Structure 1
């Protein structure tokens, strides 16, 4: 491939955007909403995005000083350049064109031949095939997934008896701030980093909802919000992004009640796949019907390459250590 050019997202021409869409339309590999110009536009409104363009090549990035990350990081669950079939590129030339010394990724879609030397780890990213809704899903799901869906049906009935009529709204325009608050409570209770401590991330969800790319689904029992989910969709793909539930209703498994409702509504919504995102959460393991692979690593130059590889080996060794759980507990205590 010939050279790259770097432009601000808001300097893209109609021809550039048409080129981007043409590549996406021609290859199902880019069907995730994270690869859409609409998602990147919403991100750019809060954090500047620069786009590396080439012949059959589009990669939106955040550039800060001498480093770069894919647009939407750290919240983007699928990353990488959008490529036309057969396009090859030089990673080092990419760094030079962006004016950086490193480009770090943590959810890179697998099978970029030219980025293979820069990949340090691979992780599964589960998905649910929900073609034909709940009936179709149950025919493909493992026993653990079928059992949880059956349990969710029983608990939905219980919630109706104990709390009031259960009402599911597939595409709501209300309660987003309440969902964010519930998610922040979850982060605090588990010691996880609070993604929404940054107002930029909260504002992004509102822009996505207003643009129609965001999908907010809720389930109430009487006056009580049991659970909600905010995701993004493109075509027939929904990305399961920020599920949240009220912890006092935990015994009702509200997350599974909501997931079952979304799967049942999938045909009406025109959704055939729900991407659950990278992670080893128990519900993902149970609900999945398959998985793709995402990669962690960085394109670097000079001494940075050696330093990252040494650091990554040290981190992997620490995670494998018998005292790893105690170390995690100490870190959480002093946060």
Structure 2
């Protein structure tokens, strides 16, 4: 295998990349497109590990590497032609690193399975057939929320002003980022957009063909918005936000319902909600995929990672977990 700077890839390299992706729906997420990696590379250098029937874009830093776009990329892993096998240990040698970590690796890579430390559910919504098709597949809980969103849309129209949904807005990304940062601050979550590079990536994606900014207004009021990325029939639900002062109207569900209704005219059949345990994902999902956390590491690094991961898992399972989380937020 050879490690090639993204900017040095040839047309033949891109042709091979697209052929592998087009040949298997496993990689139909926009995270596996050359266009997404190009947007990432514009802000942080990407090197691509190439082999026969093998493509894996990576960030290399010192003696370690991680999938390109990590930790923001919700799906990761090499693109492989059918039947291709590889040696993860050999990758360390070929790239010149001691550790290759991943946090959203698609499940099912036989050669990487021994290095998986934890598996997580990544909910999806099958929206083929629009709202009618979706409500036939989702659970009663999800149907109830969609019905509630319909009623609340009418209520919002009466009380705040006519509801207007724009599926591909050209303006407002800065406001969405600001609202997301306020949400991070209010919940104590790590601020993804404290790093200006992460903000810049969204602007590049929005300016290109992948970014999709959607908004719901009631009169002059922005109720909710979402920025995601789209490729073919797949929309990845990435950064949803809503105005907390309108929380009683369930603006997030109003937005999601509008997107499901718009799916047929957009040619979207699936919405990937991404890894997470949010209640709305549990209610809205019609199925799920699995993503993995782990690392290929040399020497004692493997043992250290497994011990650390076991300690974290034990802490989460502890009755003291809520108190530990509260303490951790104070020091962020």
TM-score, normalised on structure 1?
0.98
Structure 1 outlier segments of 4+, above 4 Å? none
CA distance in 1, matches of 2:173, 2:327: 33
Give 1:263 deviation, angstroms: 0.2
CA distance in 2, matches of 1:312, 1:81: 24
Give 1:311 deviation, angstroms: 1.1
Mean CA deviation greater in 234-243 or 310-319: 310-319
Identify which of 103, 108, 120 aligns with 2:105: 108
Q: How many pairs were matched up? A: 332
Q: Give the unaligned 5+ runs of structure 1.
A: none
CA distance in 1, matches of 2:138, 2:322: 32
CA distance in 2, matches of 1:126, 1:296: 16
- The alignment partner of 2:111 has SS state of helix
Give the structure 1 partner of residue 137 of structure 2. 140
Identify which of 202, 205, 210 aligns with 1:205: 202
- CA deviations over 1:116-149 (Å, ceiling 9, x no partner): 1100011110000000100000010100000000
CA distance in 1, matches of 2:322, 2:197: 32
Q: Give the unaligned 5+ runs of structure 2.
A: none
- 1:290 aligns to 2:310 (yes or no): no
Identify which of 7, 11, 14 aligns with 2:11: 14
Give 1:324 deviation, angstroms: 1.1
Give the structure 2 partner of residue 315 of structure 1. 312
Give 1:333 deviation, angstroms: 2.1
CA distance in 2, matches of 1:39, 1:67: 22
Mean CA deviation greater in 82-91 or 305-314: 305-314
- 1:59 aligns to 2:87 (yes or no): no
**Aligned-pair Cα RMSD in Å:** 0.6
Give the structure 2 partner of residue 156 of structure 1. 153
- The alignment partner of 1:51 has SS state of strand
CA distance in 2, matches of 1:312, 1:197: 26
Give the structure 2 partner of residue 176 of structure 1. 173
CA distance in 2, matches of 1:70, 1:234: 19
Give 1:320 deviation, angstroms: 1.0
- The alignment partner of 1:156 has SS state of helix
Give 1:322 deviation, angstroms: 1.1
